[in-house]
Chain A
Amino acid sequence: AQSVTQLDSHVSVSEGTPVLLRCNYSSSYSPSLFWYVQHPNKGLQLLLKYTSAATLVKGINGFEAEFKKSETSFHLTKPSAHMSDAAEYFCVVSDPSSASKIIFGSGTRLSIRP
């Protein structure tokens, strides 16, 4: 069975400091992994995805994530936070053998302090 755990429900950082949003997954298969961002009252936007190519994945808006199979993690990072990064972030795991088995994490709310 698949599962995804976002380890922090809320993360607060100062503008200009690094961002780390943590995600651990469990999957019986080699999973596909995604990060989505949701700004207030908006739909979800794909930030980046891992599909068994390079383990370090670069996304939009300066975000990147590293797939670590040994740690079953797919943490999202950004070197320097901007005020516009304040949003909810969702880690998603999917089972390539069954397209309907896509599991969303419960979300991490990122706040940016001026």
Chain B
Amino acid sequence: NAGVTQTPKFQVLKTGQSMTLQCAQDMNHNSMYWYRQDPGMGLRLIYYSASEGTTDKGEVPNGYNVSRLNKREFSLRLESAAPSQTSVYFCASSPSFGTNYGYTFGSGTRLTVV
């Protein structure tokens, strides 16, 4: 019953460093998403992958890239981290790309950029 697994859980970066956040789901879901959560702002969509082999920008894509490595895995990369990217990042998945489906979320990655 792993669901959606995110690694790492915590990370501290210096400004300008790069890193990749990993996400894997074991529910055979087609669609995967990356969100960031900031105080008082709810969750904002960074990128999503409707199905294996496709990725699209969400509401706040600047400074990020993604890779849908296979059906299970969807990674988020910060090429040159900035303090404004300090946030909690959530990966989510859904059976198909459609708003009638609820999402399954990972437990998050808390990232601090100093």
Contact = CB atoms under 8 A, between A and B. Distances in A.
- B: interface residue count bin: 20 to 34
Interface string B18-40: 00000000000001000100001
A106 B4 CA distance: 23
Given A99-B50, A100-B56, A90 B42 contact: yes
Contacts of A98: 99
A45 B90 CA distance: 12
Interface of A is mostly: strand
- A: interface residue count bin: 20 to 34
Given A90-B43, A105-B42, A46 B102 contact: yes
A34 B107 contact: no
Given A42-B107, A100-B58, A32 B43 contact: no
Interface of B: 4, 31, 35, 40-45, 48, 50, 56, 58, 90, 92, 97-100, 102-108
Interface of A: 9, 32, 34, 36, 41-46, 49, 51, 90, 94-96, 98-107
